[in-house]
Structure 1
Amino acid sequence: MHEHCPERDQRNIGIALPMGPVQVEKRHPREYDGSHFCVLVSETTPTPRPGSDDITRAYEEAWVGQQGYLKENGQQQRWALAFIGDTLARDGSRVAELFIVDLPAEMAAYRCAGDRPLQGTSRTLPAPPAGIRQRRLTFTHDRRHPGLATTPRHWVRSSPDGSAIAFLMSDEQGVVQLWLISPNGGEARQITRGEHDVQSAFNWHPDGRSILMVMDNSVVRCDVASGAVARVTARSAQPPCAEAVVPSPDGHWVAYMREIDGWPQIFAARLTVDDE
């Protein structure tokens, strides 16, 4: 595809299902058999309509909830992915927005093509299965600072119960803050309100009540109910690395990285937990 039409060689989101193996006719060095059945679940276009929900790129995805999320009609949506999609504003600028795509629980549904072939053709990209449609959650084109933050690079993250999706976005003063939104849509809720940018990707604590990240050159823990931020590590001259701040499964530790002599090294800090 890149050789034929580079502008259509776009970033998308796919999933792998244990419905293999898949055997293909090998006519290119990059074609090979696979153990799983893979499909795209996002849809992009090289010619987005300004001001629309069209996107040119889908990226930085996350599964929603450990068991999915509760829909407004009371039904449990078992599988869903949240991701960032690049939209086009009316002035021609790129604006990153938050999207979600609900996925079927039945494996057979992933083999059902929509109006285009699942596998694509020699001149078209693969397409999502029938009935799989992404849905936009944020609408930020008219804000003073439109779009989700792209610096620092971050992956959107769902709370363990699936009730909230966390992302980074600037406030009216241009400070990168932590925000939450329901997977059902609605108004986003600003969590942090400090003078310092969030400086890293982030992750939820296993208890679902706090988020760990870097702010003001420290690893910090933010209570999502109150927005209170507590330092986990002392402030340093150089901030911890921005790529990852990850709690242990039992919630007692947080791993992060610092650059030492030009190389990122892994550190761990002890966390206080409610049962201590």
Structure 2
Amino acid sequence: MNKSKVLTLTKPIGGHTIHHNGIFSPNDEWIVFDGRNDDTKIGETSTVGMVNVHTGEERILYKTDRQTIYGPGVGAASFSPKENMVLFIHGLYDADEKEPYDMTRRFGLAIDTDNPMQGIHMDARDVVEPYTAGTLRGGTHSHCWSGDGQLVSFTYNDEFVDSDLRMVGVMVPNENEIEVPKARGNNNGRLYSAIVSDVIREPKWGSDEISKAFDECWINGTSKIAFQGNTRNDNGDTITEIYSVTIDPGLILSDSAAVGKIGERPHVPKGIRQQRLSRTSKGLSDLRHWLRSSADGRFIYALAKDEQERNQIVRCEVSTGSFNYVSSFDFSISSPINVSERGDKITFVADNNVHLFDLESKKLDKLTSYSSNDLKVVGAPVFSRKDDKIAFNQFVDQNGKLVVQIKLIDLNQI
């Protein structure tokens, strides 16, 4: 197995956590990060920045005002594939000890990297009934740009109704900014938001109904999203299967009533219907990961456990639902996966090392040479847009303090 040279790109004390995808700028010159030193601490994190992949220069793009341990908090930033624009989670501005940052109290904020600190509210939030069409009243999370940079997917939890039921939603372009009444917890939005997954609390056994929709991806070359859905099998066991939904902005914009009324969650717009793709005996792995599309949109890649309970790569054919194992490693994958832009390779972490798997030849390269005693590699490795680099996070000991830093692998050196 080949080892590559690993560069520690970031040096300053302070966290440099990268999102699970979309961290490279469109020209691959910059990597966006947030200031977390702990994946669970978005609510306590105040900064989003970017680092130059050649020089290590860092620039602060956004810093919260009056940050405390209760919020507002920022994190999980990704670049648009087409513009020098980054999008990230932002907690509500008035977060305090009584109402801290929470999964139901956040939205997506964007920054043009040429205009730092000038936040752009992407999704509108309206908690004053009657609710404004195209708004939400909960929290959006883990935003993901479509390939053309026009649409944004996200997961959502409502603040007032069934707050524990996670859903998938989208933001689509609208002729005008979504304007809402001035009120505590409200903000305008550049894009029009809607929920596109149907969830219910108790799915019927053996049905296609789901109680949770989450951790989605855009299917390349299409207007579809693939997402994970928790359903019940014939025995009543909860398993996770792959679902898809076609995003039609015209249908979404035409159903103003989908915003819902007081005492309701937002509805799925008329004409938008989810479809079950996979039908398996065990479902997907319970390891947190996001679905990934092949470059041609034919397959969805995910993780599922083998007979030895090891996480392996699986793929589901979008047109038929055919589901099969792609890998048979003698170890268990321990991180989310990412597929190269060309669609020929997958990267992941296992046994505290970054790996590169060739989907056609089945060749596996271990790109790092850490032991289990070395400081932990965390999060998901991410390909650059030209597929010539992989960035990943690892703890580094800096003057006795463990700090999450960004490391970079040059794939041309393999």
TM-score interval for Structure 1 and Structure 2 normalised by the shorter chain = 0.7 to 0.9
How far did residue 194 of structure 1 move? 1.2
Which of structures 1 and 2 has the larger relative contact order (alpha carbons within 8 angstroms, sep 6+)? 2
Counterpart of 1:95?
A: 239
Counterpart of 2:331?
A: 196
Q: Match of 2:275, as an amino acid?
A: R
Q: Does 1:81 align with 2:236?
A: no
1:52-201 equivalences in 2 (<5 Å)? 52-65=207-220, 67-68=221-222, 79-104=223-248, 107-113=249-255, 117-140=257-280, 142=281, 146-151=282-287, 153-201=288-336
Answer whether contact 1:199 1:242 (CA < 8 A) is retained.
Answer: no
Distance 1:132 1:240, change over 3 A: farther
Distance 1:132 1:205, change over 3 A: same
How far did residue 208 of structure 1 move? 1.2
Distance in structure 1 (CA, Å) of the matches to 2:197 and 2:160:
21
Answer whether contact 2:201 2:211 (CA < 8 A) is retained.
Answer: yes
Compute the TM-score of the two structures, normalised by the length of structure 1.
0.83
Q: Match of 2:232, as an amino acid?
A: L
Q: Among the aligned pairs, what percent are the same residue?
A: 29
- Tell me the alpha carbon deviations over residues 134-176 of structure 1, each in whole angstroms, 9 at most, x when there is no partner: 1111222x3xxx221122x111111222121110000122111
Q: Does 1:24 align with 2:183?
A: no
Distance 1:242 1:136, change over 3 A: farther
Q: Match of 2:321, as an amino acid?
A: G
- Tell me the alpha carbon deviations over residues 193-244 of structure 1, each in whole angstroms, 9 at most, x when there is no partner: 0110011111111221111111233211111123331111124224753422
Distance in structure 1 (CA, Å) of the matches to 2:159 and 2:393:
38
Distance in structure 2 (CA, Å) of the matches to 1:164 and 1:4:
37
Distance 1:254 1:129, change over 3 A: same
Normalized per residue, which structure has more strand? 2
Distance in structure 2 (CA, Å) of the matches to 1:96 and 1:33:
35
* Aligned pairs, number: 252
Q: Match of 2:307, as an amino acid?
A: E
Distance in structure 1 (CA, Å) of the matches to 2:342 and 2:216:
21
Could you say what secondary structure the match of 2:295 adopts?
coil
Counterpart of 2:43?
A: none
- Tell me the alpha carbon deviations over residues 32-57 of structure 1, each in whole angstroms, 9 at most, x when there is no partner: 32221111111111121122111111
Distance 1:82 1:133, change over 3 A: same
* Residue 260 of structure 1, aligned match among 393, 396, 399: 396
Distance in structure 2 (CA, Å) of the matches to 1:242 and 1:131:
40
Compute the TM-score of the two structures, normalised by the length of structure 2.
0.57
Distance in structure 2 (CA, Å) of the matches to 1:176 and 1:98:
16
Distance in structure 2 (CA, Å) of the matches to 1:58 and 1:49:
16
Counterpart of 2:63?
A: none
Answer whether contact 1:219 1:240 (CA < 8 A) is retained.
Answer: no
Distance 1:196 1:127, change over 3 A: same
Distance in structure 1 (CA, Å) of the matches to 2:228 and 2:333:
18
Q: Which runs of 5+ in 1 are unaligned?
A: 69-78
Could you say what secondary structure the match of 2:226 adopts?
strand
Answer whether contact 1:214 1:240 (CA < 8 A) is retained.
Answer: no
Distance 1:55 1:241, change over 3 A: farther
* Residue 236 of structure 1, aligned match among 361, 365, 371: 371
- Tell me the alpha carbon deviations over residues 27-81 of structure 1, each in whole angstroms, 9 at most, x when there is no partner: x62233222111111111112112211111111111111x22xxxxxxxxxx111
* Residue 251 of structure 1, aligned match among 380, 387, 396: 387
Answer whether contact 1:241 1:264 (CA < 8 A) is retained.
Answer: no
* Residue 355 of structure 2, aligned match among 220, 229, 235: 220
Q: Match of 1:96, as an amino acid?
A: T
